[in-house]
Structure 1
């Protein structure tokens, strides 16, 4: 059922409609190398074939799953022969992201000199999977998952086409059942056609001679499919990013939706538990320290209960964290401290902060002028410097006026405003305590 003309091509109007970025190439006004990036069943291979057909170009299709450099060289030889006849060649490489850098480099010279026009198809982000030399020679076009209307159009074509469609096997499916099939296909035309064909296989002729599906059979047909999700791919990172940002943005409803999406897609709940714990530390922090404890408890609960019971504990943690006051003050402070640690190198610990477990170390002055905070007023040694002597004291931690950190900030401000007191001299009582 692959469409033979652009008019029969469903979806991707943002690329192929008049005035759209790819419209000139599809209309025959200019062929160039490109990468088609989109989810499975969105029309990448079909679009490549339609483009090649507009230019009467030789179409060589390879799959990066099975092909290697030897196959690419054979394609180049074929393209050179075709070029001698005055025709161009389109090398279509499906799943191009599966080629390593050396394999991707193998056909670049032939793209550069015009022997080949390269069209790659990938479900993965080209920024991560394709090398810069290839990306600089090919324009990237992003295809979207097909809408319900586009999938309905594709299925109607299959039902009506007497040559390649279902023909006499076509079942009588009411609009609501076709819509249910489209929803179950989840944006994938290939899945939609497979479901439609399975519906035809399961349909039985009634007394009127028309083939129908009973409700129980149809319900089983459209149930049980997972939504798009790939633990190594773009969908995985997009969805965990959405979950994290929804928690950070104090939207418990969206956060629970993305958690449900990832679990439905087959994500490892233990991975989600680890990321939820990270959210508690990074985005809630000391504004509500209970968030970290609850996230850890949720992880422990999942370990004890497993799926699906333990997933409720993860949902509880996500909802709590989304509603909790937010602070990334510790996250930012620690990042700044890490940067200074790298930048300033191995500055020595000041003598007054060093431990002195031996007589020699005490004789060298280790810990001699240390002020034991518990013996100071309110347990605070005003004016004491705990940084290396060669380093100007920093202020990394700046708690915002939210949650518990409102009180923490007020207390720190009050302590820092106290006038510095004189450091006690050696020989004072308890001076050498750690």
Structure 2
């Protein structure tokens, strides 16, 4: 197939859109060697799927590349502007490409069709249902793109017929590479290092945002006969929009640090203040929700296990309600996290365990702990002398060793005297005494 050369008048985002799989930047967890979508491309057998991820991460690009890879007719529908009529038109075009039923019965073939629905979550239930019989019959391959959680926004019937692939925001290295390609194309003037860093941070994982901003800057630079984009000039052109949303910059990380430390320090008023500062400055509420989940796991842990569940619930509420309604759930969560009892015992224990495993050798699993699904394994003493905890007094096997032989049992987990961990510590001390008595 002849590779199409982008026209000079096209938007920069379209001119830099990958024309081959090898040109795609990012999403290597899906497109790298041996990864799910790469396997689909190489198999020559397209399948219906839903691409879920933030804006500007390559959903449309992947769908178009699928059509090219399978030499399929590509029909794009926007769920924002389209409706049932567009679906009917797509069905007719797919039938024409496939050929008439008579030709197919006679052994004739036809061209495959890929129907790509952008923002599929905008279609209502009946509109989504309209695809089902044609996906079932194999008339076309359905690819939906969405920025919303498909578990909530896509019909279960359609969801069950399509694989879901999660696309990640592009990394700063990915965005820097895209910026470099734009410069190599001669589409933008020279950019100093500080301005490059600010542009990459401002894009926030969104390639389209980066390229559209670059295009705006290029026009402004040409009008001023400016040969280089500097950080100072960048701030002047983009103004408050760029200054306030400083994701990736020092101010952003200083502010999230202040929020995290306010929660750790059990000050709900300060935590609310920094949360609102970040939301007002343009921070993505989904990012804030992820940080709260981290705070619950790192700083509260088992002192109050409900905190982690509440943080997950707040993230889900925001996904359902969006801004501004969903932000109230984030505020409720941040206050709870600030007031919850604090423990980093699990966090410390996990890091100590990682450090030990990293430097220690690969010790064999003791025979009594090994799985023995076959007679041969049983004959080799796999699982022999294993004591089943539920058959022991109190459901506890006193004196048993669960570490590799010859390894001194470390004590990674040391509960604090706060919250639920007070009870956990008492139980742990009781079990250790039972072990000590049995081994003695």
Alpha-carbon distance change, 175 to 27 in structure 1, aligned in 2, over 3 angstroms: farther
Alpha-carbon distance change, 178 to 245 in structure 1, aligned in 2, over 3 angstroms: closer
Deviation string 1:229-267 (CA, Å, 9 cap, x unpaired) is 99xxxx756743652662475369xx9xx99xx9xx976
Matched, 1:88 2:112: yes
Matched, 1:212 2:228: yes
RMSD after superposition: 3.9
1:180 shift after superposition? 2.2
Give the number of the structure whose alpha-carbon radius of gyration is greater. Answer: 1
1:319 shift after superposition? 4.2
Q: Counterpart of 1:67 in 2: which secondary structure?
A: coil
Deviation string 1:262-319 (CA, Å, 9 cap, x unpaired) is 9xx9767655444445x2xxxxxxxxxxxxxxxxxxxxxxxxxxxxxxxxxxxxxx54
1:224 shift after superposition? 2.8
Matched, 1:194 2:215: no
1:25 matched residue in structure 2 = 40
CA contact (8 A) 2:79 2:120 kept: yes
Q: Which residue of 49, 63, 69 corresponds with 1:54?
A: 69
Unaligned runs of 5+ in 2: 1-15, 100-108, 249-277, 302-307, 346-415, 424-440
Q: Which residue of 239, 244, 250 corresponds with 1:224?
A: 244
Q: Aligned partners of 1:182, 1:7: CA distance in 2, in Å?
A: 22
Q: Counterpart of 2:121 in 1: which secondary structure?
A: helix
Is the deviation greater in 178-187 or in 23-32?
A: 23-32
Q: Counterpart of 1:22 in 2: which secondary structure?
A: helix
Alpha-carbon distance change, 247 to 17 in structure 1, aligned in 2, over 3 angstroms: closer
Q: Aligned partners of 2:298, 2:39: CA distance in 1, in Å?
A: 42
CA contact (8 A) 2:300 2:344 kept: no
1:77 shift after superposition? 0.7
TM alignment of 1:30-429, pairs within 5 A: 30-84=45-99, 86-161=110-185, 166=187, 170-203=188-221, 211-220=227-236, 221=238, 222-225=242-245, 236=285, 239-240=288-289, 242-243=291-292, 246-247=295-296, 249-250=298-299, 271-276=329-334, 279=336, 319-321=338-340, 323=342, 402=418
Q: Counterpart of 1:18 in 2: which secondary structure?
A: coil
Q: Aligned partners of 1:43, 1:18: CA distance in 2, in Å?
A: 18
Alpha-carbon distance change, 405 to 17 in structure 1, aligned in 2, over 3 angstroms: closer
Q: Aligned partners of 1:70, 1:266: CA distance in 2, in Å?
A: 31
CA contact (8 A) 2:343 2:418 kept: no
Alpha-carbon distance change, 94 to 226 in structure 1, aligned in 2, over 3 angstroms: farther
CA contact (8 A) 1:63 1:94 kept: yes
Q: Counterpart of 2:115 in 1: which secondary structure?
A: strand
2:304 matched residue in structure 1 = none
CA contact (8 A) 2:195 2:231 kept: no
Deviation string 1:135-179 (CA, Å, 9 cap, x unpaired) is 1211111111001111112122222225xxx1xxx2111344223
1:34 shift after superposition? 0.8
1:29 shift after superposition? 2.4
Alpha-carbon distance change, 213 to 324 in structure 1, aligned in 2, over 3 angstroms: same
1:70 shift after superposition? 1.6
What TM-score results when the alignment is normalised by the length of structure 1? Answer: 0.55
1:16 shift after superposition? 0.9
